[in-house]
Amino acid sequence: MSTKIFRARQAMGRTVRGQALVAHDGFSARYDLDRIKGVFSRPAHKLVGQSYVGKILVLDTAKGGVATAWMLHEMQARGIVPLALVFNSVNPILAQGAALGDVPMLAGFDEDITTAIPHGAQVEVNPEARSISILA
């Protein structure tokens, strides 16, 4: 079995494995999620209605302001946080939120990671190696 590996320029957190939820949409913890039900709730988001809990989100870019940081922390405390976040590009606010919420994160690839990773694929996020690998 061959494994396809993509390298990121920014990374933090621990290694995790899980199912990838992929969309070329942006990500705002404040405006895109129902943080009580654990699903994407913004009607215009491609992942609307899908649970993000325990999933690896592969999205285009981070959106939002300072609320993202405390929202990711609050989601972690309630056990309804994504397993990891993977972006083509990220902003400092979301990076702070991922660190505060203890959510592994990768960002900055040489190709569009939202087209390289198939929706629903099993992947491994390895921040120490700055990589995401398609497992199946």
DSSP per-residue codes, the chain: ---EEEE-SEEES--EEEEEEE-SS-B-TTTSEETTTTEE--TTSTTTT-B-TT-EEEEEEB---THHHHHHHHHHHHT---SEEEEEE--HHHHHHHHHTT--EEE--SS-HHHHSPTT-EEEEEGGGTEEEE--
Q: What is the pLDDT of residue 57?
A: 97
* Token pair in block for residue 62: 């981070």
Q: Is the pTM of this model over 0.75?
A: yes
- pLDDT tier, 2 (very low <50, low <70, confident <90, very high otherwise): low
Q: What is the pLDDT of residue 1?
A: 53
pLDDT tens sequence across 28-56 = 888 899 989 999 999 999 999 999 999 99
pLDDT mean across residues, the chain: 93
